[in-house]
Structure 1
Amino acid sequence: MNKSIDSLIKNNLSGKVLEDFNRIYYGKKHHSVLVLDSTNELDFEIAGYSLPAEKEQLRQPRIVRLGLIQHSIVLTTDSPIIDQRQAIFDKVRNIINAAALEGVQILCLQETWSMPFFLCTKERTKWGEFAESAEYGPSTLFLSELAAKYKMVIISPILEVDDEGVWWNTAVIINEKGEYIGKHRKNHLPSVGSFSEMSYYCPGNTGHMVFDTKYAKLAVNICYGRHHALNWLMFGLNGAEIVFNPSATISEFGETFWGIEARNAAIANNYFTCSINRVGKEEFTVGSENNITRSYYGSSYITAPDGCRTPSLSKTRDGLLITEIDLNMCRQLKDQWGFSMTSRLDMYAENLISYITNHCTNNQ
């Protein structure tokens, strides 16, 4: 079934029943829909919402417009690599242009956005040319020009190759001047089913970096890292106001809890979370006869620290989700819930050290 739960609910519930569902499922009875200038003639879905904070007497609102892009690949996976990448660039450029027209200030793309997610093939050599420099690679150069043109901070998840020839799953951060300001490398790598990412690149060595940009303090928790609660926690302890979760996830690998983990992280850590997942079907020929097909379910969404979330983008279409947020909500929820005072990090740290000493050391 290709319809999202959002469309099913919208088309089948109304009145008080719909309000009750929205209150429980989305955290609010009615969606605060943004009026967008872009037309419906675009060849991708575009949707806009607002997640406002309570008005304060002494502090002005800290309004930021976020943009998430989900998209499919364009050419078949046996096409020349340079053509595959350029076709994706051309598609994404049109979506970024639309985001700029709608005033997006921080934009995030999906995991390894400029290539097919070939990591399910268990092949390596034939795909090596997709790996690129974080600082000077074609994806960074392409997006740097658009970031400077539109004064937009852009998060670009790529397959990185460093100066030693080592691969990493990396998110590059480009500021509103088009400058490379840093990168985060994926901390947790899956080895589940056909996705054995440990065969391709190393677990990240950049820790839990938070980037202090013109518009917000942001962090990136790449794909599989969302299954690890302490990963989310550390970004919050380091001061993140927004954590992006760019992903490439198929339905049999967690669709049932796709809408839960990032939402829970937003509540537990008093920051906004942004979940991005690619869409479309990707087909690979491995060897001479073995064909592998992977289908991705999109459904990108954003959650506020109070647990309210936007509807999801489509499960099947390219899309741009725009959400206007007020960063004051992060402090408001910290004050309301008092997690910093009640977290007992000292107790957890003591128990973690004991566990590592008694279990991990003995298992080596």
Structure 2
Amino acid sequence: MFAYIPTEAYHFGVIHTPKFQEAWTMPFAFCTREKRWCEFAEPADGESTQFLQDLAQKYNMVIVSPILERDINHGEIIWNTVVVIGNNGNMIGIHRKNHIPRVGDFNESTYYMEGNTGHPVFETAYGKIAVNICYGRHHPLNWLAFGLNGAEIVFNPSATVGELSEPMWPIEARNAAIANSYFVGSINRVGTEVFPNAFTSGDGKPQHADFGHFYGSSHFSAPDASCTPSLSRYRDGLMISDMDLNLCRQIKDKWGFRMTARYDMYANLLSEYLKPDFKPQVIADPLINKRKA
């Protein structure tokens, strides 16, 4: 997935294709239990990044590059990582996926665990961007955290299939853009993969050799609730969208979501919720048990 912005106009683009998808700059998803996919892991500054650094500098664009990272300095731990490359060809930084799915055939915890980079926002030549990797889009607080850190655009590179998530796809990102007053770029891969070894989903159904159809449908959402048409469900595609980043501030001024939020109240609830003796704030009707009697 590329995020690129020529200097002469504030254009932002996404590519959805089997070759540049959520976690891997490689032409497949590897969420089955076949550990041999680990052979494709590489350091954050490895060959994929070096290749894209040249392109970023040549075309004066910012690139968000998803890879399978091998952390050489920490026992070769593997992470689901995005590398953010600046328009001068420099590596600005990385972000590791915060939320790891344990649903359906997506057995990603076989390869890596939750990331340890927090919610970084990368200040680029063309705006402040963040990356909410794939499954993180199902967690509203994940979207919120990027907004609190000042993101103007949050990219959501994904590899997700129709039967699992398609009804939620046009809703979650658009809602995040509205609630957090920033733009969202939703990128999903296309195609269907067939694996050499059949696998089961632990749901009692017969074993199978594919995930289902990756439905594409990449699009942009804006903080004013508007959104672009989606790319195809079946073909590779490129989308270019003009974005006025001033809209982020204008919407904040209009709706005042930041001013009217009760972060102190939410923080207190979350703090209490994490305690072993947490008790939900439920007020029961005292007449319920009397009626039953």
Normalised by the length of structure 1, the TM-score is 0.69
Q: Does 1:112 align with 2:21?
A: no
Structure 1, unaligned runs of 5 or more: 1-61, 73-87, 93-108
Q: Does 1:224 align with 2:135?
A: yes
Q: Which has the higher contact order (CA 8 A, sep 6+)?
A: 1
C-alpha distance in 2, partners of 1:190/1:154? 25
Partner residue, 2:3: none
* Moved >3 Å (runs of 4+): none
The count of residues paired between Structure 1 and Structure 2 equals 262
C-alpha distance in 2, partners of 1:113/1:336? 40
Residue number among 172, 180, 183 corresponding to 2:91 in the alignment: 180
Partner residue, 1:16: none
Q: Does 1:130 align with 2:72?
A: no
1:219-242: CA deviation from partner (whole Å, max 9, x where unpaired): 000000000000000000000000
Tell me: CA distance 1:66–1:283, structure 2 relative to 1, closer, same or farther (3 Å).
same
Residue number among 312, 315, 333 corresponding to 2:233 in the alignment: 315
Are the equivalent residues in 2 in contact too, given 1:63–1:325 (CA < 8 A)? no
User: Once the two structures are aligned, what percentage of the paired residues are identical?
Assistant: 57
Tell me: CA distance 1:63–1:327, structure 2 relative to 1, closer, same or farther (3 Å).
farther
Q: Does 1:65 align with 2:19?
A: no
Partner SS state of residue 266, structure 1: helix
Partner residue, 1:296: 214
Tell me: CA distance 1:111–1:311, structure 2 relative to 1, closer, same or farther (3 Å).
farther
Letter paired with 2:135 = Y
Tell me: CA distance 1:359–1:302, structure 2 relative to 1, closer, same or farther (3 Å).
farther
C-alpha distance in 2, partners of 1:167/1:327? 35
Query: Where do residues 64-83 of structure 1 align in structure 2 (5 Å cutoff)?
Result: 64-72=10-18
C-alpha distance in 2, partners of 1:118/1:283? 11
RMSD value, Cα? 1.9
1:41-95: CA deviation from partner (whole Å, max 9, x where unpaired): xxxxxxxxxxxxxxxxxxxxx96211101112xxxxxxxxxxxxxxx5xxx7xxx
C-alpha distance in 1, partners of 2:210/2:110? 19
Residue number among 255, 259, 264 corresponding to 1:337 in the alignment: 255
C-alpha distance in 1, partners of 2:240/2:24? 21
Are the equivalent residues in 1 in contact too, given 2:38–2:111 (CA < 8 A)? no
Partner residue, 1:170: 81
Structure 2, unaligned runs of 5 or more: 1-7, 200-206, 279-293
Are the equivalent residues in 1 in contact too, given 2:25–2:48 (CA < 8 A)? no
Letter paired with 1:352 = L
Partner SS state of residue 126, structure 2: coil
Normalised by the length of structure 2, the TM-score is 0.86
Shift of 1:128: 1.8
Shift of 1:127: 1.5
Q: Does 1:267 align with 2:178?
A: yes
Letter paired with 2:44 = A
Question: Which has a greater percent of helix?
Answer: 1
